[in-house]
Amino acid sequence: MNHFKLLAVAAAALALLPLASAPTLAADTYKLDKAHTTIGFTIMRQGYNRLVGGFREFGGTITFDEQNPVNSKVSVDIKTSSFYSGWAARDKHLRSPAFFNAAEIPNMKFVSTKVEKTGAKTGKITGNLTLLGVTKPVTLDVKFNRKGERKGKTYSGFSATGSLDRTDWGMNFLAKFVGPKVDINLEVLAVKQ
């Protein structure tokens, strides 16, 4: 190889060096802001109207890779005893062994297994939902609303919807009357750690 070709190869290698050694931006870890996050659902009640409910006690993290969202991850733990629907007698019944069995199985958990980008600010998150000791996949449609700074902290907001059949987790009581399909509605604010 003559000197000219050798110099050309060396110049090309040097030109690529900054790209090879450039740091890749790491995903950011966020914690759910409980005061501004809603984990809720609706279910058709005997064909008359939709029962609205949710959970007050939960915690979780989001590993959000804004540059490459498919690398993002979500993990959320929910205390089933914190269920609320606006009527104390119904809440007590839904915490019973007929539904959430909160005394014996106090936690529900969602852990993502796959994130797909579907648009500029939309995607699908598939994960394993463990409820009543049964683990099954659930897919949520997610929208990244915005990222912003406030009082020295970084926040990101998301909205998500999905649905599941509660009988897949063995929650069969009154399934003919209070329908098996549960619609999930999440409004999430998360703070960067």
Full domain range(s) for residue 66: 25-192
SS3 content of the chain, % helix, strand, coil (to 5): 20, 50, 30
**Domain contains 150:** yes
Percent of the chain whose predicted confidence (pLDDT) is above 70 = 87
Report yes or no on 11 lying in a domain. no
Distance, in Å, from the CA atom of 149 to the CA atom of 192, rounded to the nearest integer, reads 10
6 inside domain = no
Whether 124 is covered by a domain: the verdict is yes
At residue 25, the pLDDT reads: 65
Q: Which residues pair with 162 in a beta bridge?
A: 140, 184
Q: What is the pLDDT of residues 1-16, one digit of tens each?
A: 543 333 333 334 334 4
Domain CATH code at residue 59: 2.40.128.110
Domain count, the chain: 1
Q: Is residue 183 part of a domain?
A: yes
Letter for the amino acid at 112? S
The predicted structure's pLDDT at residue 98:
94
pLDDT at 14: 39
Q: Going by C-beta distance under 8 Å and a sequence separation of 6 or more, which residues neighbour residue 154?
A: 28, 147, 148, 191, 192
Residue 49 pLDDT > 70, yes or no? yes
What average pLDDT is seen over the chain? 89
Establish if 68 belongs to a structural domain: yes
pLDDT digits (tens, 9 = 90+) for 65-123: 999 999 999 999 999 999 999 999 999 999 999 999 999 999 999 999 999 999 999 99
Has residue 52 got a pLDDT over 60? yes
Confidence (pLDDT) at 9:
38
Task: Determine the average pLDDT of the residues in 51-63.
Answer: 97
Measured distance CA(42)–CA(162) in Å, rounded: 11
Assigned domain for 4 exists = no
